[in-house]
A and B are shown apart, each in its own frame.
Chain A
Amino acid sequence: MLSAKGFEAAFSYIQLFGEGLITTVTLSALTVIFGFMLALVLALMRMSNFRPLHFLDKPGCGRVVKVLSKFNPISLVANIYVEVFRATPLLVQLFIVYYILLAGVSLPAFKLFGIIRFERMIPGVIALSLNSGAYLSEIIRSGIQSIDGGQTEAARSLGMTQWHTMQYIVLPQAIKNILPAIANEFVTIIKESSICWTIGVQEVMFAVNSIKSATYFIGEPLIIAACVYFCLTFPTSKIIAYFERRMSRGDKR
């Protein structure tokens, strides 16, 4: 049952929510940045046309040889990565990073902005980035594929290399097109980052837990946490939608 007394008690810890909010935003922002960089690499890997066995493809060769000649280890590795990370729970990935991957690693222990415990946040950022990288790579890939082939042809016909074409022509246009999708991923990450309290990252949900231990109220801090998340994500989504509309209008001019 919720009670006025409970809210009063929870509000006396409002500073924890403030710090949790800053941590959540920092955690999510870092995740989007690193996740995006990982996703870019994954997307390019998945779209590579590296076929070391293509010389096997000769007219009249068998079906097995035909399949072998199309073998692309780079895109295979990236595809496996994406499928694995999309098919396993984020919580499991977080625990694997924290308890296994970084078990023997001693990260420098200091407080970012005087609030955020660096050594706790890094495993969170890593796990969330690895996870969102898988999802974002799909977005980036579709963004790249949505760019008219004529753009690449024009650039290549001017003598530009494949990489320069990607760098100066395709990627800038693709990223502009997918900015709304990336921003939406940011909103998703804000919500998903809440599980990081399980490894001691002092974000919003961690504040809830601390208040629960101190006051034995749980419902009231949870309601406040829900409001904090809502106040963070709802305006963000609306702002994204606004820019999305404006950008599509600009294109039709």
Chain B
Amino acid sequence: MATSDKLIQVKNLKKYYNKGALHALDDVSVDINRGDVMVVIGPSGSGKSTLLRSLNLLEVPTDGEIIFHGIDITKKTFTNKEGKTEKVNINLHRQKMGMVFQHFNLFPHKTILDNMTLAPIKVLGMDQKEAEEKAMALLKRVGLEDRAGAYPIQLSGGQKQRIAIVRALMMEPEVMLFDEPTSALDPEMVGEVLEVMKELARDGMTMVVVTHEMGFAREVGNRVLFMADGQLLEQGTPEEIFSTPKHHRLQDFLAKVL
């Protein structure tokens, strides 16, 4: 695939805890291409969240590179086109990477509308009216326009997660990172959130999704990564991973979850 299709390149990423005794990420390399819906699966504690959270530097890796827009965002500085050394502004990169958390993390002291417009107004300098119109349009897309004035506490889990997704979309990110977005939901609410994610995928959004929803991985994902003990043990199309798994750890894992 052409280089220009590579949105994020992860190179030899390592994250150690407990003074190096625990390798949460053990030399992981992977390219994320534009339009990818990359699903990350693996047993608990295998480093899925750590990998995802490293992508926007919520976790600072111990070693390795994350190349985004040609810049290694794990370093403090980079060399710009004119050959000058510039500071890496992580806030700038984070704007381009939306993130959705297992526990929603909506701002409880702000209304749904304010949750969505705060960052666009404060970070992008969008004016309030424009931000609110944009927010209302997005709310409409997820069928929650009548909840604009509500507070997060007044919403169900599924509604909260849909809001969290559109809140991230307000920044017009180039990639969306999902960390087990449906794991904290009651079963009857999982569908509505997955539906929004499917629609995003259909619209061509680049997505990295950590999930235990194997159905979603199969149906929506175009690539599946299998992680165990901080290592990327196998990757391939959903067909390859689910129908012809090679690594015995993956075979064991699938036997348990399917």
Contact = CB atoms under 8 A, between A and B. Distances in A.
B167 interface: yes
A76 interface: no
Which label, helix, strand, loop or mixed, suits the secondary structure of the A interface? helix
Contacts, number: 62
Given A150-B105, A153-B58, A172-B109, A160 B97 contact: no
A234 interface: no
Contacts of A160: 91, 118-119, 122-123
B167 A158 contact: yes
Given A172-B109, A173-B109, A253-B153, A159 B95 contact: yes
B98 interface: yes
Interface string B129-171: 0000000000000000000000001000000000010011001
A154 B102 CA distance: 11
Interface in A111-164: 148, 150-151, 153-161, 164
Contacts of B101: 150, 153-154
Interface string B91-116: 11011011101010111110000000
B99 A164 contact: no
Contacts of B118: 158, 160, 168
Contacts of B108: 173
Contacts of A151: 105, 107
A51 interface: no
Chain B interface size band reads: 20 to 34
Interface string B58-71: 10000000000000
Nearest to A150: B105
A169 interface: yes
B123 A154 contact: no
A176 interface: yes
Contacts of A164: 122-123
A186 B38 CA distance: 55
A169 B107 contact: yes
A179 B246 CA distance: 58
A159 B123 contact: yes
B129 to A, nearest CB: 19
Given A164-B122, A168-B118, A168-B122, A157 B107 contact: no
A153 B108 CA distance: 14
11 contacts: A148-B105, A154-B106, A157-B97, A157-B98, A157-B168, A159-B91, A160-B118, A161-B91, A173-B107, A173-B108, A173-B109
Interface of A: 148, 150-151, 153-161, 164, 168-169, 172-173, 176, 251, 253
